[in-house]
Amino acid sequence: MKKFFAAIVALVVLTASFASVLASSYVGNRNSGKFHYANCTYARKMNQKHRVYFNAREEAVKAGYIPCKRCKP
Ligand SMILES: [Zn+2]
């Protein structure tokens, strides 16, 4: 029964983190310091470990990220 509970918790956590990634409309690159619309070609090609997700443009700007010149977020 404990295992079952742990599995449910893991599933909820996984779903929540997945949903937050889907809800983010902006993706920043930790390496280059730029941010993109999530559907920008550069954002899609970006290395997973460099990704930072933002829900709002302001969040990215406040964090010191510069808008991409291609997708102009
Ligand atoms: Zn871009």
- Identify the structural domains of the chain with CATH numbers, from first to last: 24-73 (3.40.10.10)
pLDDT (average), residues 13-23: 62
How far away, in angstroms, is 48 Cα from ligand 1 center? 15
- Enumerate residues with CB within 5 Å of ligand 1 (an ion): 36, 40, 42, 68, 70-71
pLDDT band for 11, please (50, 70, 90 cuts): confident
How far away, in angstroms, is 19 Cα from ligand 1 center? 22
Report the pLDDT value the prediction gives residue 55, as an integer from 0 to 100. Answer: 93
Q: What are the pLDDT digits (tens) for 38-73?
A: 999 999 999 999 999 999 999 999 999 999 999 999
How far away, in angstroms, is 64 Cα from ligand 1 center? 16
What does 2-71 look like in DSSP terms, one character per residue? Answer: HHHHHHHHHHHHHHHHHHHHHH--EEEETTT-EEEETTSHHHHHS-GGGEEEESSHHHHHHTTPEEPTTT
Q: What is the pTM of this model?
A: 0.69
